[in-house]
Chains A and B, each alone.
Chain A
Amino acid sequence: DGGITQSPKYLFRKEGQNVTLSCEQNLNHDAMYWYRQDPGQGLRLIYYSQIVNDFQKGDIAEGYSVSREKKESFPLTVTSAQKNPTAFYLCASSMTGEFNQPQHFGDGTRLSIL
């Protein structure tokens, strides 16, 4: 079955550590996205990539970094500069970056600070 795989499902981080969240898709989609979900705030866009080797900042990119070296993969690194990283992180993809393409979501990674 085609879909988006996020790993790990749960992740714990010590203060001052960088962590990387994995997102892989086998849908052959060009565009990929990372969102952060906090209770009562919906989803907020962190970074997005419309094509391999290109990505743009979303609304809350500070303290995060991404790469898009392969079409299938869009890992998100939560750096020590992110002051409040505890959240639920969702990865999504769409066939293209055009506005009329619905986004498909992964199951998410819940990140907690120890």
Chain B
Amino acid sequence: DAGVIQSPRHEVTEMGQEVTLRCKPISGHDYLFWYRQTMMRGLELLIYFNNNVPIDDSGMPEDRFSAKMPNASFSTLKIQPSEPRDSAVYFCASSLKLFRGTGELFFGEGSRLTVL
């Protein structure tokens, strides 16, 4: 079975441009998470969905960030306008259920964003 699929793997853009990151979770997984990895803060949870509904977006840095999940097999994270401080690796992860005892989130390979 295919894992979590993210695109693009790498994105280089200029400040002020719109960036859209995409994610296809593992089929049948009910939960989808967007994380951002930076050296200073490690992996930060931005937002997560349950059955396509956003549950907790308290980690979204500011209004420039938005996320959608129009169906069970697709999610997007959009940054508009992008800024250099948004440069990071963005991970999407999915799970069958919110873990209690199994602890497994399945992560994609990440999208490395560079904003010049």
The finding on whether chains A and B are genuine partners in a shared complex, rather than unrelated, reads: no
